[in-house]
Amino acid sequence: MADTNEILAGLAEIVAEETGLDAAEVTAEKSFTDDLDIDSLSMMTIVTLAEEKFDVRIPDEEVKNLTTVGDAVTFIEGAQK
């Protein structure tokens, strides 16, 4: 199981691959849409890749609640248990 920092680092890696941003820019307080300019299709891609990486299930209806990178980290951390 990954801890908070590992999840953040792993998620930042996925976001960086998908968007071309530097992984260091993908910090917990950043908003996926407002700060990272991620559209809904990219968000679904990130979710699918994160589900695989962390072996969790992120339901489609949950995705709209994941405003910031930190929200996603928290959800993934909880879903691992």
24 contributes a contact to other proteins by CB under 8 A: no
Q: Tell me the number of residues near other proteins by CB under 8 A.
A: 12
44 contributes a contact to other proteins by CB under 8 A: yes
Q: Select from 80, 77, 81, 72 the least CA-distant residue to 44.
A: 72
Q: How many residues does the chain have?
A: 81
Count of beta carbons in the 10 Å neighbourhood of residue 3: 10
79 contributes a contact to other proteins by CB under 8 A: no
* Interaction site with other proteins (CB under 8 A): 17-20, 41, 44-45, 48-49, 51-52, 57
